[in-house]
Structure 1
Amino acid sequence: MRTSWFKALVLGGMVAAVVMPGGSPVQAQAEVEVPYWASIQRDEAFARAGPMASYQIEWVFRRKNLPVKVVKRYGTWRQIQDPDGWTGWMHSNMLSRKRTAIVQGSVSAIRAAPQDSAKLMWRAQPGVVGELGDCEAGWCEFAVDRRAGWVRQDEIWGAGAP
């Protein structure tokens, strides 16, 4: 059985931030090409009509760790797309590069290994958000709280190429 960084992260309860030498997480985000995956970093995050604080708040996200796709950048502002396809502008300090995914469609089987015949570990309802690990051959490591397993990549949003 292979041990991955993902399992060590989940089992050890450690959280690491990617920061460029001498820089901050915001500076590290600025160097990534768009589009890219991110997640909501706060319990409450405002999405605006445009890339400045003077623009009207159009939506308030109250779902920490929700995956989003960053589709544009303007200074410290990011235009994001949520799992439903809605877009708005959010300040980069509201976002994290932590990879997460959300179960979509129907109930997803979380398995012990990346194959349909592997032992069923648990089931995840649509809307469940979890941390995303490595993906291979159409399967992704997926963890919610301290429970981890493998989910079919086509049953989640936030995996694969953005």
Structure 2
Amino acid sequence: MKNKSFRAFGALAAAFLLFLSVFSFAVTAQAQSVGSGVSGLPVPRFVSLKSDRVNVRKGPSRNHDIGWTFVRSRLPVEVIQEYDDWRRIRDWEGKDGWVFKTLLTGYRSALVTPWLENTTETSPLRRKPGPNEDVVAYLEPLVLAGVVECTDGYCRVSGKDFEGWIDQSRLFGVYKNETINN
């Protein structure tokens, strides 16, 4: 009789542990879908690389191998997950990996049409937001720009030799219809 009771208790305990693990997973999944990470900041979100040399690791610790290294500061990346002091990021090519949080900054930057890098197509930079406003320059793919503000589908961007408004859909570093007021 003792043996049967012990087995029943063990089965009950196993079922309870399974319930707890499923419940814990559901709470974690819900927390991620709500959009905040361990930092309290929204996930996903765009940030920029702080340093000219940023190692991207295959996991969230220095014990994980380096997958690749960025060699240009201020490039925009998307934080897609947080774990302790590590941030899982995705670049414009869709590659993802982990970086230590101090290598990122909240500075907003964007790449102009990086998905068109092997074409001659350019993007009009306008004096004011809107499709019929005067064009002040044409930006080539992969131009890096600082994002000053975004409203009504256009972003005011600036760089070394340019400033103006560009159609938001032509940028990697801002979300569609995102409003930014700096």
On whether the aligned pair clears a TM of 0.5, the verdict is yes
Give 1:77 deviation, angstroms. 0.4
> More relative contact order in 1 or in 2 (CA 8 Å, sep 6+)?
1
Look at both structures and tell me which one has the larger radius of gyration over its CA atoms: 2
Q: Unaligned stretches of 5+ in structure 1?
A: 1-28
Map of 1:83 onto structure 2: 92
TM-score with structure 2 setting the length? 0.70
Map of 1:37 onto structure 2: 46
| Count of equivalent residues | 134
For 1:63 and 1:111, locate their aligned partners in 2 and report how far apart those are by CA, in whole Å.
27
- Percent identical across equivalent pairs? 29
Give 1:121 deviation, angstroms. 1.2
Give 1:74 deviation, angstroms. 0.8
Q: Does 1:137 align with 2:146?
A: no
When you count helix as a share of all residues, which structure comes out higher?
2
Q: Does 1:112 align with 2:127?
A: yes
For 1:33 and 1:108, locate their aligned partners in 2 and report how far apart those are by CA, in whole Å.
30
Q: Does 1:93 align with 2:119?
A: no
Letter paired with 1:152: D
Q: Does 1:67 align with 2:82?
A: no
Map of 2:19 onto structure 1: none
Give 1:145 deviation, angstroms. 2.1
Which structure 1 residue ranges, 4+ long, deviate > 4 Å from structure 2? none
Any idea what SS the aligned residue of 2:61 has? coil
Map of 1:3 onto structure 2: none
Letter paired with 1:110: L
Give 1:148 deviation, angstroms. 1.0
Q: Unaligned stretches of 5+ in structure 2?
A: 1-37
Alpha-carbon RMSD: 1.6
TM-score with structure 1 setting the length? 0.78
